[in-house]
Chains A and B, each alone.
Chain A
């Protein structure tokens, strides 16, 4: 048997020779420091702050009324069931089949004909980000000359995702600053003016960052117009169940589009509604004309995923399929997600009440009109900076407030701070 000289032994002898070796000049000199991520950088800054009064209403992660992160009971139970019993062998490239099945039922409907007819090409994805990125890469590969229309504003990372996938972006009007509501006529005009067959990114519910959603009637009109124009609707659904407390209700926009015969794309995330943030579990689906096409599309999604990460992580997927696959656990989940949504709805009401009681001259009904985790407060970047510098309240500079970061203990303090920075506005 060949004897290998210990390389580490030789290394010891050699290292005394190279001690004090001149480093050649760095290959990385031209690499500039990247700017802080506008959203995740907020949490970094918050963590570094020593003030006892500090409040984090930056990142969209749910907190309970004590400001603590929550692991859902249904999730804990699922984890107990799966602990130690699994061999951690690679999932298929497309991920957990069970988890994907359950995800499709949740989004498309328990008895969806599209599921029965196997018309949906779907894979497990790295939460919402990964699902969007996979779709963007897919769009780039098969429609290399296409662009993506994104709402103004949208989640900051949407820009990064499509840009890094090589797909140019265009915008459509969405938020109306004057009313702090939806610019519906602007939206419809922009949909109409886009060239036929454009790709549109839509937030299925609980628009991030504004919290402003179209009404059901408005969704129907949007669907009609998109149909006439032959556009491709891509939905980002990161808050199903989290917006109204009812997953069926939160999927309404999607169901309208499906009824109207659109062949949609959909990114789903379990980060918020199942509290599985760090597990990175989600699903990307593309509704096709028939089963054959769905199989082909899935195979191509897999071909894109393989050189990105080979196959997706198992742990979060097992939790999701365990919870959704067991009627009792699923019911528990439905209750727990409603509790989270209700607490947020309650905080909206409280924040608004407090501001009105303080005698703020500005209108605040948008706080309760908007829905989901975020509220577009209308604060300017300068006012946001004051919130941070004077009051140690952390939020993103676009004025977005994460309602989940508010609780009965700090809502008064935050209302007061908002009042202070806006009263002379």
Chain B
């Protein structure tokens, strides 16, 4: 204690130091309580320096770097020419450059020409965006929309929308748990933790097959207490790339209905998985068509390349329009003390693209192109590995997985080898982002994977 006071005291002896004006006229030093006071003249009046300036946050430890975003930092620091960044899920062209979609540039130019103002959006966000996003997700002629049973609130991309959903659960379903897949996107746990919603896991990834542990998944969903929220990835599961088949989705819906659970979809890759917006929304639409009440978080980070604009939505599909109205009002009440109202720019871009038929068609084509590039890269990677690896290991999971990511099945040591020996940057769980892979680099990556798999344990 004393030493901290002392060290603070020495810090405070600068000419323009803290000064207190008091009615004392003493000069020199004096003791007041436990602090040492120094007297100095400052602009004509006698003033005192109180040498107690301990920060309220002195004991705050340094937080660890983010496990996903830290990978890119390490990549940037690497000076080797052959380095490859397969860490964060951001789409890259074949030339490994970031990509701004043409429709986005067009939409932005339209917006610039129109000279739109920058007024506050309503708490629930841009109406045109909310309409467009719900229709994109469910289909414009979906009965749920026609019957006004969908409460949509613009959110800060997927993260912000998930956080709103989590906050709704915490407030209105106290004691309810969320079941999340093992594994899942790293930030899901942080979101539910910080929102104070308890969670546990359902089996999902089967390391033996590098595929879906379907039996385990169904068992765990069945075993959960009635009324559990089940977090499902609508398509292109992150990090594994492993999606249930249509038949499996039916069975998942069956057991969720039986147990009276509430499905909570995270849809971050609509259009990006198969290349078709409708096809990628099929799982969500299935559940809604069955009459279930569903929460759905959406993101436009990947499919419209709007990463940094933070544009997404939280949708609650409920059993009546009256209920949807109430739910929407409470989502707004949760959003207001978080950020008051959401950012306008990304919302306008989406509304313009989706709402303008010619832009919408162009978007669909660009989406197919992006998803197509990833499919090609998967094929090339698979071909390269299968032709080089003579061990007879089945690498077909590369083709079966879908979306931006592939769970390679490499363990932590093997992943480290990928980085340390081959300068391939990926997350420690064995996940690679195919969006960061070019056809040209497939052979090199194949070598790295084969080496890491066989020669490192």
Report A's interface with B, CB cutoff 8 A. 1-2, 4-8, 10-11, 14-15, 18, 21-34, 37, 40, 44, 59, 61, 69-71, 75-76, 79-80, 83-84, 86-93, 126-127, 129-130, 133, 137, 142-143, 157, 160-161, 163-165, 197, 220, 224, 227-228, 230, 232, 259-263, 271, 275-280, 286, 288-289, 293, 295-297, 299-300, 302-304, 306-316
Contact = CB atoms under 8 A, between A and B. Distances in A.
A293 to B, nearest CB: 6
9 contacts: A6-B246, A14-B286, A83-B112, A87-B99, A88-B104, A88-B306, A277-B118, A277-B119, A307-B194
Contacts of B99: 87
Contacts of B346: 313, 315
A385 B212 CA distance: 61
Interface stretch (B200-208, B327-335, B385-393, B422-430): B327-335
A97 to B, nearest CB: 14
B290 A129 contact: no
Given A8-B279, A31-B323, A31-B327, 11 more contacts: A1-B399, A4-B246, A4-B274, A71-B117, A89-B307, A142-B59, A280-B341, A288-B55, A307-B159, A308-B159, A309-B157
Contacts of A303: 63
Interface string B281-312: 01101100111110000000100011111100
A136 to B, nearest CB: 9
Contacts of A232: 56
A14 B287 CA distance: 11
| 9 residue pairs, one from A and one from B, having the closest CB atoms | A261-B18, A278-B344, A7-B282, A314-B308, A160-B337, A7-B246, A307-B190, A299-B63, A309-B156
B69 interface: yes
Contacts of B292: 24
Considering residues A27, A37, A76, A302, which has the most beta carbons from chain B within 10 angstroms of its beta carbon? A27
Contacts of A6: 246, 279, 282
Contacts of B309: 88, 313-315
Considering residues B69, B118, B227, which has the most beta carbons from chain A within 10 angstroms of its beta carbon? B118
Given A15-B289, A23-B319, A220-B21, A61 B340 contact: no
A313 B345 contact: yes
A78 B337 CA distance: 30
A7 B290 contact: no
A90 B308 contact: yes
Contact of B345 (A29, A87, A157, A315): A315
Contacts of A7: 246, 249, 279, 282-283, 286
A88 B98 CA distance: 8
B157 A307 contact: no
B310 A29 contact: no
Contacts of B443: none
A160 B285 CA distance: 36
B402 to A, nearest CB: 8
A8 B285 contact: yes
B384 interface: no
A300 B117 contact: no
Nearest to B69: A93
Contact of A71 (B115, B310, B341): B115
A91 B308 contact: yes
Nearest to B156: A309
Considering residues B58, B120, B157, B292, which has the most beta carbons from chain A within 10 angstroms of its beta carbon? B120
Nearest to B190: A307
Contact of A260 (B20, B62, B274): B20
Given A28-B327, A71-B118, A277-B118, A88 B57 contact: no
Interface string B56-90: 11111111001001000000000000000000101
B282 A31 contact: no
Contacts of B167: 164
A289 B399 CA distance: 54
Contacts, number: 311
Interface string B81-108: 0000000101000000011100011001
Contact of B245 (A5, A11, A91): A5
B325 A33 contact: yes
B19 interface: yes
A40 B335 CA distance: 13
B187 A307 contact: yes
Contact of A160 (B293, B323, B336, B343): B336
A80 B112 contact: yes
Considering residues A26, A44, A263, which has the most beta carbons from chain B within 10 angstroms of its beta carbon? A26
Interface size class of B (residues with CB under 8 A): 35 or more
B343 A230 contact: no
B260 interface: yes
Given A93-B69, A126-B339, A160-B337, A310 B187 contact: yes
B339 A260 contact: no
Nearest to A280: B343
Interface stretch (B46-54, B404-412, B431-439): B46-54
Contact of B18 (A25, A34, A260, A308): A260
B21 A313 contact: no
Interface stretch (B9-17, B217-225, B356-364, B413-421): B9-17
A68 to B, nearest CB: 8
Nearest to A275: B118
B182 interface: no
Interface in B104-138: 104-105, 108-109, 112, 115, 117-123
A368 to B, nearest CB: 28
Contacts of B52: 230
A259 B18 contact: yes
B345 A279 contact: yes
Considering residues A91, A224, A275, A316, which has the most beta carbons from chain B within 10 angstroms of its beta carbon? A224
B308 A313 contact: yes
Contact of B60 (A25, A32, A160, A300): A300
B27 interface: no
Contacts of B306: 88
Contacts of B308: 88-91, 311, 313-315
Given A259-B19, A293-B55, A307-B187, A21 B291 contact: yes
Nearest to B42: A259
A219 to B, nearest CB: 13
B278 interface: yes
Contacts of A312: 310
Nearest to B143: A19
Contact of A26 (B119, B159, B191, B318): B318
Contact of B289 (A14, A91, A133): A14
A89 B98 contact: yes
Contact of A308 (B122, B194, B307): B194
A163 B119 contact: no
Nearest to B8: A289
A322 to B, nearest CB: 14
B316 interface: yes
Nearest to A293: B55
